[in-house]
Chains A and B, each alone.
Chain A
Amino acid sequence: MKMKWWKTLGIILVLYSIITGLLFPVPKLDILNETVRNLYFHVTMWFSMIFLMLLSMTNSLRFLSGFEKRFDLKAETYASTGLFIATLGLTTGMVWAQFTWGAFWVNDPKLNGAAVTMLIYLAYFILRNSIDNEESKARVSAVYNILAFVMMIVFIGILPRMTDSLHPGNGGNPGFSNYDLDSSMRMVFYPAVIGWILIGTWIAEISYRIKVLDFNKENN
């Protein structure tokens, strides 16, 4: 089987981030202590999710500019993979919150953003399933996908900056960028972000190929 270079890179980077993320020393911060290691997993998942949603949105845009069926299929696949990664990000975040804040769920702008993002994309799949006509399904869901992405960016990008958050690095809470000036965490964090983005894209690609095979099987 032929392996593309970026898939290998993704495996190497994620393995590197898991090993070094669990073994390397981390700065001792108040409240956070060793849980700061969750940065390598939880935050990177969200980056990966946003990247996948961006790909989904661009595929919807490409669908609307030419009405080619495969772009719609790609948009759907990226959105479902993004939702999967978002679930992982939410779970890692909730476990972390239980040990740091004392509850699985707290009222925080970033958590609201996460919840709304999941709801928006779940609504996207419900919308897809409630239209029978294939053509009109693709078009309507592409429109909703673009609208959803813009609103999601407003929600997780702009609104949390207008209010304080409990998250590290916000509202006077210690975060890695304030304290860790020797950048030892960055050495793990940035490769981990790239690694998870690559792995996410890879998962989406495999799932897209399965969908294409299914589609061809049904139509032959």
Chain B
Amino acid sequence: MIEQVKNLVVKDIRLNWRERYALYSMLLYVLSTSYVAYLSFEGIISDDSWVALFWIIVLFAAMNASLQSFKRELNQQALFFYILAKPRAIILSKTIYNSALLILLSLSSFGLYSLFLGNPIHAQLSFVLCVTLGSSALASILTLVSAIAAKTNNSSGLMAVLSIPLLFPLLLNLIKTSKLCLVSNLDYFPFNQLLFLALINIASALLSYLLFPYLWRD
């Protein structure tokens, strides 16, 4: 099982590295939205709006990134994977891969975003931790939802409808944590909030692990 997960993650990295344009398009998305934000706020932005806009950019980047995650597995090569791998190994590998991708993406968007709009955060380390945990939680919920959406006729349209209400508690918590990081000291550590994020991570990974086999079988 663990061996299979490892192989599948390596396969995903290889395949997506071969088709790098998808990765570049996500980075370009982050770059252009940050620049649009810079232009529309003319460089002066209140701290609260900074936080809200940052998470909206990350949310849509996450949605774009995970939308395509099952395009091979559930459509074109479904039978091939069905014979080859256990469904639980597939969902675990996808969750791990998407989390890693999204952590990378949101940290780089944090960098780009701060470059254009400045960085008002005080507790940097806690904020980076919050971004990391938050984006892996986003990724693990979105991975399962994209598997659900891939089963429908209109997957890209449904993705937003299905996932945004589910991500609401997570996003509210992320915005709240970021605001705490905004006003606090350098060494501030929002333990409860980060614990909540970690719990959401575990819960959504567990749900994906338990529920994905039912989506898989057709």
Quick one: which of B152, B176, B203 contacts A127, CB cutoff 8 A? B152
Q: In the docked arrangement, what's the CA distance between A120 and B165, Å?
A: 6
Determine, out of B28-36, B75-83, B98-106, B166-174, the stretch whose residues face the partner at the interface. B166-174
Q: In the docked arrangement, what's the CA distance between A123 and B152, Å?
A: 13
Interface residues on chain B, number (Cβ under 8 Å): 28
Asked if B144 lies at the interface with its beta carbon under 8 angstroms from chain A, I say yes
Asked if A155 lies at the interface with its beta carbon under 8 angstroms from chain B, I say yes
Q: In the docked arrangement, what's the CA distance between A123 and B168, Å?
A: 14
Task: Give the residues in chain A near B207, CB-CB below 8 Å.
Answer: 146-147, 150
Q: Are A112 and B168 in contact (CB under 8 A)?
A: yes
Asked if A203 lies at the interface with its beta carbon under 8 angstroms from chain B, I say no
Interface size class of A (residues with CB under 8 A): 20 to 34
Q: Are A142 and B158 in contact (CB under 8 A)?
A: no
Task: Give the residues in chain B near A144, CB-CB below 8 Å.
Answer: 148, 162
Asked if A119 lies at the interface with its beta carbon under 8 angstroms from chain B, I say yes
Q: Are B172 and A123 in contact (CB under 8 A)?
A: no
User: Mostly helix, strand, loop or mixed at chain A's interface?
Assistant: helix
User: Mostly helix, strand, loop or mixed at chain B's interface?
Assistant: helix
Asked if B153 lies at the interface with its beta carbon under 8 angstroms from chain A, I say yes
Task: Give the residues in chain A near B203, CB-CB below 8 Å.
Answer: 150, 154
Q: In the docked arrangement, what's the CA distance between A148 and B168, Å?
A: 12
* Known interface pairs A126-B161, A154-B169, A155-B168; A143-B148 also in contact (CB < 8 Å): yes
Quick one: which of A116, A126, A147, A162 contacts B158, CB cutoff 8 A? A126
Asked if B215 lies at the interface with its beta carbon under 8 angstroms from chain A, I say yes
Quick one: which of B154, B173, B215 contacts A139, CB cutoff 8 A? B215
0/1 string, A133-144, CB within 8 A of B gives 1: 000100110111
Asked if B71 lies at the interface with its beta carbon under 8 angstroms from chain A, I say no
Across the interface, name the chain B residue whose C-beta is closest to A132.
Answer: B153
B119 to chain A, nearest CB (A): 26
Q: In the docked arrangement, what's the CA distance between A119 and B161, Å?
A: 8
* Known interface pairs A126-B161, A142-B214; A131-B152 also in contact (CB < 8 Å): yes
20 of the cross-chain contacts (CB-CB < 8 Å) are A116-B169, A119-B165, A119-B168, A126-B158, A130-B158, A131-B151, A131-B152, A136-B151, A140-B148, A140-B215, A142-B214, A143-B214, A147-B145, A148-B166, A150-B203, A151-B165, A159-B169, A159-B172, A162-B196, A163-B176
Instruction: Spell out B's residues near A (CB within 8 Å).
Output: 144-145, 148, 151-154, 158, 161-162, 164-166, 168-169, 172-173, 176, 192, 196, 200, 203, 207, 211, 214-215, 217-218
